[in-house]
Structure 1
């Protein structure tokens, strides 16, 4: 079982080895086909043209592209927080409604039926035009089944936009208030001004003691389990 002393020791080690991981603003090109109906602008002759904006971080893959497109549309509509709330509400509601969850996953459902269902749901829930139009695009392109993954990537963008950094801290027991305060202060010092640590605690008895800190692409494993494994390899 981890003790306060071991946790405090791990926090001290953590503060020495970790360095700030700044999030640089990167250019993202939004293709007009993806931006259809919710983020396009007229070209010189009334046709669609590619829009160019800045997003707080670059995401890749299909879900990353859709999340980035929604982010840009929400920023343009000045409704970023509202869109985030609506998208997360839809994801949570789908988890509590097996029939609707299956409906989103079923590719056999015709596109027109999917679109009608989404329009009806958005009207009843009084969702914003940005959210509704985005969900319609997903329905038309058979991408509703990815809405939960898209929502996760979208939250990554909104957190980066607000200067928040998600930090996962794994320990054997919940951090005592004093150690939790020390950890947050250490993280804040590391991240610097303009960034805010959003700490998520996880309990995992298998690490035996110490702690594991994860954020961005960095993992700092200061658990007793890992130290014991390192010692075993050294002795071998």
Structure 2
């Protein structure tokens, strides 16, 4: 919340000022560092570039925290959100504003330079999508897998522990399961488990629909 307040107070004068243009110099990535996932599209390319830069600087966790702080601040500060989305703001103004604000906030050079590149290229409005792809990369690097489990009521601690172990057995040793529980009374009972592109629907609602479909099918003797 402190960052959002800082952005709200810092941006107004910066909107009205003109700044000299400047070039952002980037260093080549270490050839030994590999991106753990192949991402495509603009957001994937930016996320991959950030991952390489943060890895080279040994600052993955710090950069991830800062990037998520920026996304959160954009949600809490209408002025900063407008700044990120408004393509009419001069490029020099966007770049200078990003450098000044996040330098003052104590962000790493990796994050500041990355945000400046986005500002220079008019891509700040895609920050939320880029941040999600970046988190995908950091999780894959750490062997973390986010699993969303939907139930009617919260799982008891013992059942949650057993479910995590079962998921580790399925995903393979060396993986860390990050379990997120969602409550949805409409599934009536059972579980819906989602991770990656896979969905295991073991809810009573789905089973009831399957049974209904089966009963409606004509019987052939």
Q: Report the number of matched residues.
A: 193
Question: For residue 10 of structure 1, what is the aligned residue in structure 2?
Answer: none
Q: Displacement of 1:96 after TM fit?
A: 1.1
Residue 147 in structure 1 maps to residue 127 in structure 2: yes
Q: Displacement of 1:80 after TM fit?
A: 1.0
Question: For residue 28 of structure 2, what is the aligned residue in structure 1?
Answer: 40
The question of whether the paired residues in 1 share the 8 Å contact of 2:33 and 2:56 is answered with no
C-alpha distance in structure 1 between counterparts of 2:34 and 2:105, whole Å? 30
Question: For residue 180 of structure 2, what is the aligned residue in structure 1?
Answer: 200
C-alpha distance in structure 2 between counterparts of 1:38 and 1:208, whole Å? 54
The question of whether the paired residues in 2 share the 8 Å contact of 1:210 and 1:223 is answered with yes
C-alpha distance in structure 1 between counterparts of 2:205 and 2:79, whole Å? 43
Question: For residue 219 of structure 1, what is the aligned residue in structure 2?
Answer: 199
Structure 1 length as normaliser, TM-score? 0.78
Equivalent residue in structure 2 for 1:106, among 73, 81, 86:
86
Question: For residue 19 of structure 1, what is the aligned residue in structure 2?
Answer: none
Q: Any runs of at least 4 consecutive aligned residues in structure 1 with deviations exceeding 4 A, and if so which?
A: none
Higher helix share: 2
Q: Write out per-residue CA displacement over residues 25-56 of structure 1, whole angstroms, 9 at most, x where no aligned residue.
A: xxxxxxxxxxx733436xxxxxxxxx685211
C-alpha distance in structure 2 between counterparts of 1:40 and 1:67, whole Å? 16
C-alpha distance in structure 2 between counterparts of 1:103 and 1:223, whole Å? 44
Equivalent residue in structure 2 for 1:74, among 30, 54, 58:
54
Question: For residue 5 of structure 1, what is the aligned residue in structure 2?
Answer: none
Residue 178 in structure 1 maps to residue 174 in structure 2: no
Q: Displacement of 1:130 after TM fit?
A: 0.8
Equivalent residue in structure 2 for 1:229, among 209, 212, 215:
209
* SS state at 1:167 partner: strand
Residue 83 in structure 1 maps to residue 42 in structure 2: no
* SS state at 2:170 partner: helix
**Correspondence list, 1:11-22, <5 A:** none
CA RMSD of aligned residues (A): 1.6
Question: For residue 191 of structure 1, what is the aligned residue in structure 2?
Answer: 171
Question: For residue 8 of structure 2, what is the aligned residue in structure 1?
Answer: none
C-alpha distance in structure 2 between counterparts of 1:212 and 1:113, whole Å? 47
Q: Displacement of 1:210 after TM fit?
A: 0.3
Which sections of structure 2, spanning at least 5 residues, go unmatched?
1-23, 217-221
The question of whether the paired residues in 2 share the 8 Å contact of 1:38 and 1:134 is answered with no
Which sections of structure 1, spanning at least 5 residues, go unmatched?
1-35, 42-50
C-alpha distance in structure 2 between counterparts of 1:175 and 1:38, whole Å? 48
Equivalent residue in structure 1 for 2:107, among 113, 127, 134:
127
